[in-house]
Amino acid sequence: MNHKEAAARRALEFVKSGMTLGLGSGSTTAYFVDMLGVKVSSGELTDIRAVPTSEATAERALEWGIPLTNLGEYPNLDLAVDGADEVDPNLNLIKGLGRAALREKIVESHAEQFVVIVDESKLVPKLGRGPLPVEIVRFEHETHIHWLNTLGLGCTAKLWLEEDGSPAITDNGNYLALCWFEEGIADAYELAVTLSTHPGVIGHGLFLDIADTIIIAGNEGIRIMERK
């Protein structure tokens, strides 16, 4: 069993019959959806409903017969489970390299408990080791990229391109920028506010003060970080 699979299996212990779940996106969460699907299809877990954070997750859940719903019907989720691209010592995250950060943030902010499943390679002393995804509208997208490059903070931004050179497009129909920071993100809270208040920016991959539990799988087994 690989580390991602081990973390997903531990997260499954948080699920009880009768729960309404938020299902994240990405490779680690795919293991969780598959394991959940096995328990739902076998009848071991009953009366489960799920709100998916991407079209890919919705398709995967339906293949397993996991009933899907939405926040309009169930605005208060019992539990959300998702992966992360980076986790800092304060349980703050960078997410979005699976191209679903905006939907993930919407769904996971409605969960009573948000559990994050990662392998130990995702742990960082400071956010910004890798790129930060920023979702932008297509209209005048070049000017949004230009603005990101004027932020300072050692930020270099580029439009996220597919292998064929076309822009990467989210399930929401928007473009994505990737922002790199020379020395990491000095103040994630300040950056989050700056990004959130700029016209043309629809969402960003900074998930601050949202995660409740981090399940970390590594060579020494599983360890858990909890928000105090």
pLDDT in tens, 208-221: 999 999 999 999 99
Q: Name the pairing type of β-strands 175-181 and 132-136.
A: antiparallel
Domain-embedded: residue 153: yes
Please indicate, yes or no, whether residues 41 and 82 belong to a single structural domain of this protein: yes
| Short-list 128, 55, 56, 148, CA closest to 87 | 128
- Residue 189 has what pLDDT? 97
104 is an active site residue? yes
Domain-embedded: residue 109: yes
Handedness of CA 85, 58, 79, 201 (dihedral sign): positive
The residue segments making up the domain with residue 81 are 3-123+208-219
- Residue 205 has what pLDDT? 98
Q: What is the mean pLDDT of residues 6-19?
A: 97
Please indicate, yes or no, whether residues 73 and 143 belong to a single structural domain of this protein: no
pLDDT in tens, 149-165: 999 778 999 999 999 99
Q: What is the mean pLDDT of residues 86-111?
A: 97
Contact by Cβ (8 Å): 21, 78: yes
Q: If pLDDT is split at 50, 70 and 90, which confidence band does 10 have?
A: very high
Coil, strand or helix at 138: coil
Q: Residue 147: which CATH number?
A: 3.30.70.260
- Is 228 a residue whose pLDDT tops 90? no
Coil, strand or helix at 120: helix
d(CA 89, CA 135): 25
Tell me the H-state helices in 47-120.
55-63, 101-108
Q: How far is CA 208 from CA 107, 115, 118, 129, 188, in A?
A: 15, 14, 17, 16, 8
Please indicate, yes or no, whether residues 79 and 117 belong to a single structural domain of this protein: yes
Catalytic residue among 5, 86, 104, 135: 104
Q: Tokens 């919407």 map to which residue?
A: 106
Q: If pLDDT is split at 50, 70 and 90, which confidence band does 1 have?
A: confident
Geometric angle at alpha carbon 31, from 210 and 6, rounded to 5°: 80
Q: What is the mean pLDDT of residues 177-182?
A: 97
Contact by Cβ (8 Å): 130, 85: yes
pLDDT in tens, 184-208: 999 999 999 999 999 999 999 999 9
Please indicate, yes or no, whether residues 105 and 191 belong to a single structural domain of this protein: no
Please indicate, yes or no, whether residues 103 and 137 belong to a single structural domain of this protein: no
**How many separate domains does the chain show?**
2
Q: What is the mean pLDDT of residues 121-126?
A: 97
- Residue 95 has what pLDDT? 98
- Could you tell me which residues come within 8 angstroms of residue 41 by beta carbon, excluding any fewer than 6 positions away? 64, 65
What pTM was estimated for this model as a whole?
Answer: 0.95
Please indicate, yes or no, whether residues 14 and 99 belong to a single structural domain of this protein: yes
Please indicate, yes or no, whether residues 11 and 72 belong to a single structural domain of this protein: yes
